[in-house]
Amino acid sequence: MPSPEERSQPFHPEHSREHSRKDRAGLVPELVREVVPADTIPLVRPLLDVRDLTIQFPQSRGSEQPKAAAPVAAVSSLSFSIAAGEVLGLVGESGSGKSITSLAIMGLLPPAAIVTGKITFQNGEGLPTHLTTLPPDQLRQFRGSRIAMIFQEPMTALNPVMRVGDQIAEAVLAHHRVSKSEAWRQAVEGMRNVAIPDPEQRARSYPHQLSGGMRQRVMIAMAIVNRPQLLIADEPTTALDVTIQQQILDLLNDLRHKFGLAMLFISHDLAVVSHVADRVAVMYAGNLVELGAKADIFHAPAHPYTQGLLRAIPTLETDRALPLSTIEGTVPPIAQLPPGCPFEPRCPHRIAACAVQLPPLIEVRPEHWARCPVVNPPRI
């Protein structure tokens, strides 16, 4: 737990995580220190580090006086990191800022967006790359090779008048100097890796000739064909029916282990995230409200919003005769967010102070943070 002095400092969950690791490193016996000279110990950095990310939009949509209005923050001071090979689940209701966070990482936000903060990618082959300041041509090279993304609706990413094999081969050719036949061979291999039956034949199909699940597999094949280290999956199963959804989740789990893929797995559905994530970050109205290991989030949720999301998931014990629990109300539009805790208008635990100031993140147990000092009073 941080000391009260540390708590009064600007708080970044993953900074404390690093700090606690250093503390543990300090307990390494003297003998080990002698055997391994300090300068040969690699400094372990996360693969992706998002620090104090704020995304603002000018208030033009739906505003009566667009020019007079100040930009509003759709994501506020968001910090998290993902280790190599780790899967971080990012959950929150629609409009909480999940997709624009992923687009900020990919450098794909619309030009009107005002982005501050630092996004760093460490590929283990040199200095970290600061994605927020990378020139557009280098960022384009990064996308699809080191970091790839899949979306909810494959049809928006696939070209309807091009054979799927050609589309995957094009992704290979964009990043490698290989012949067209070699790119085609890699495309077929990529389709085999995502368990598409008879890939030589299916590679000649057009997207509309494939089912929704097969199209999502094609998009995954296209995303991983250049062996990225990080895959961002934004609601990849939301448009699919339950059986196909489970198959795609199983596939992502297989690929993750086969290729050591790290993932930022985004979903509005905590139950879906539980199938793939190692750690879970919960967002509400652009703010990180809870972050921790999956087991902690599911067995000991510390933020009232996460507790509400969990109560809304049916379990084997759920009495089917009763309606499922829901969180009353809706996420307020970002231009109308209350000044204090964004969850205050819907929170069953709120007290007067909650409406005044944004609460800090509190470390409720090692490597588990929640933005609610009322339910988790800081220890003094």
Ligand X SMILES: Nc1ncnc2c1ncn2[C@@H]1O[C@H](COP(=O)(O)OP(=O)(O)O)[C@@H](O)[C@H]1O
376 binds, among ligand X, Mg ion, ligand SF4, none (CB under 5 to 8 A by kind): none
Asked whether the beta carbons of 275 and 249 are under 8 A apart, the reply is yes
Cα–Cα distance measured from residue 62 to residue 48, given in angstroms and rounded to the nearest whole number: 35
Long-range contacts of 317-322 (CB under 8 A, 24+ apart): none
Whichever of 71 and 128 has its CB closer to ligand X, that residue is: 71
Q: Does 286 bind ligand SF4 (CB under 6 A)?
A: no
- Burial of 24: CB neighbours in 10 Å, binned 0-12, 13-18, 19+: exposed
289 binds ligand X (CB under 6 A): no
Binding piece for ligand X, criterion CB under 6 A, among 93-101, 127-135, 274-282, 304-312? 93-101
Q: What are phi and psi of 29, to 5 degrees?
A: -60, 155
Binding residues for ligand X, rule CB under 6 A, total 13
| 335 within 8 A of 63, measured Cβ to Cβ | yes
Beta bridge partners of 368: 365
- Name the helix (H) or strand (E) containing 91: strand 87-91
Asked whether position 74 contacts ligand X by CB under 6 A, the answer is yes
Residue of 95, 107, 292, 301 that binds ligand X (CB under 6 A): 95
Q: Judged by CB under 6 A, does residue 344 bind ligand SF4?
A: yes
Residue 359 binding result from ligand SF4, ligand X, Mg ion, none, given CB thresholds of 5 to 8 Å by partner type: ligand SF4
DSSP three-state, residue 84 = coil
Q: 156: exposed, middle or buried (C-beta count within 10 Å: 0-12, 13-18, 19+)?
A: exposed
Cβ 267 to ligand X shortest distance, Å: 10
Q: Pick from 11, 57, 184, 305 the residue near ligand X by CB under 6 A.
A: 57
Q: Which of 76, 77, 96, 152 binds ligand X (CB under 6 A)?
A: 96
Query: According to CB under 6 A, which one of 3, 8, 9, 94 is a site residue for ligand X?
Result: 94
Would you give the DSSP letter of residue 210? S
Binding site for ligand SF4 (CB under 6 A): 304, 341, 343-344, 347, 349-350, 354, 359, 372, 374-375
